[in-house]
Structure 1
Amino acid sequence: MTPALVQSLAALCPAIKKEWGQLLHGEPTITPLGRPDTLMYLMDATLAQLFSGLETGSNRSTQQWLRRCTPLIGPVHGYCACGLNPLLKYFTTGELALHAAAGPLLGKELEEVLLLFRALAQQEIQTLCSVCQHKGVPGCCEMADKSAGSSEARAH
């Protein structure tokens, strides 16, 4: 990815964050850390990490990221056993926002951006899951399903 294209993508930050925030507000809140207004504080740092990875030099940068974090295959929800990790919806909606706000600008380069974004997502999700208090607790997945259901009921 050329430096000029990375700069053009960075110029879209306000549009990406606006779309991302709207998508986050449309999601149910499962835990206090999953409140959209709380998660929105992470956006600047997340986008800065993404742009940093892209600026380092396209092919080399992608290879460095992939050495640190094997790319995510399938939905991010597969990396959290209990489903309570607030970063699941954060990164899922972030990817959708990148598609919506930057897809037309990036064209075929969008795949490289999403590859790095997914690697970052996987790393962050696994880091938070490593300190999960529900890990290994019998019924933790059922608890997540009940929490999601009650959140949806409260939202309506």
Structure 2
Amino acid sequence: MHDGFLRALQTQRPDLRQRWEALLRAERVSSPMAHPDTLVHLMDWTLDRLLDELRQPHFRRHSEHGAPRSAGLGCVCGKNPLLTYFSTAEQAVVETLLLDDTDLRQVSSEDRSTSLDELKAALHAVARREIDSFCAVCQSRVRHEQEHTAAVLKTAR
């Protein structure tokens, strides 16, 4: 990742957070846990985890060798409040960094593209851990898995 992207992410953090909150508040609330007033308190923590991920030697090493990007974010029942939280995070990051490119003027378009892909991959890594953690305790997941198993057994007969 180009150092200019890391600097831009740090210097534009207040704008990024503000844009992210606006995007999150514009989304339909699917549950009390998905309410923006609940989720905005996680934003600084998430941005810190994103920066930590980007600074990890293992992340830089894998991204330099073209490691496959993480699979799309999702959960079995689709009710995880972090799905919208992280999708709006990605949109806010892209908009903030590319629309106000003051910090990125010296970065070539190829480096911008590569750095943006790396940034998205890092955000997906953070998102995947958090979404999976939330899904692990979800009661809908257990019910959905039971229904899926029953359907598979029924078609196997």
Question: 4+ residue stretches of structure 1 with deviation over 3 A?
Answer: 2-5, 62-65, 138-141
Q: Deviations over 1:83-137 (max 9, x none)?
A: 1110000000000000100135462211111110011111110110001011132
Partner of 2:78: 83
Relative to 1, partners in 2 of residues 1:12 and 1:84: Cα closer, same or farther, differing over 3 Å? same
Q: How many corresponding residue pairs?
A: 132
AA aligned to 2:131 is I
Give, in angstroms, the shift of residue 63 of structure 1.
4.5
AA aligned to 2:130 is E
From 104, 113, 118, the equivalent of 2:119 is 113
Relative to 1, partners in 2 of residues 1:13 and 1:140: Cα closer, same or farther, differing over 3 Å? farther
Partner of 1:21: 21
Q: Secondary structure at the match of 1:87?
A: helix
- Larger CA Rg, structure 1 vs 2: 2
Partner of 2:134: 128
AA aligned to 1:23 is L
Identity across matched positions, percent? 33
CA RMSD of aligned residues (A): 2.6
Partner of 2:109: none
AA aligned to 2:71 is I
Relative to 1, partners in 2 of residues 1:22 and 1:36: Cα closer, same or farther, differing over 3 Å? same
Relative to 1, partners in 2 of residues 1:120 and 1:71: Cα closer, same or farther, differing over 3 Å? farther
Unaligned runs of 5+ in 2: 105-111, 148-157
Q: TM-score, normalised by structure 1?
A: 0.74
Q: TM-score, normalised by structure 2?
A: 0.73
The question of whether the paired residues in 2 share the 8 Å contact of 1:81 and 1:135 is answered with: yes
Q: Considering Cα pairs closer than 8 Å and 6+ residues apart, tell me whether 1 or 2 has the greater RCO.
A: 2
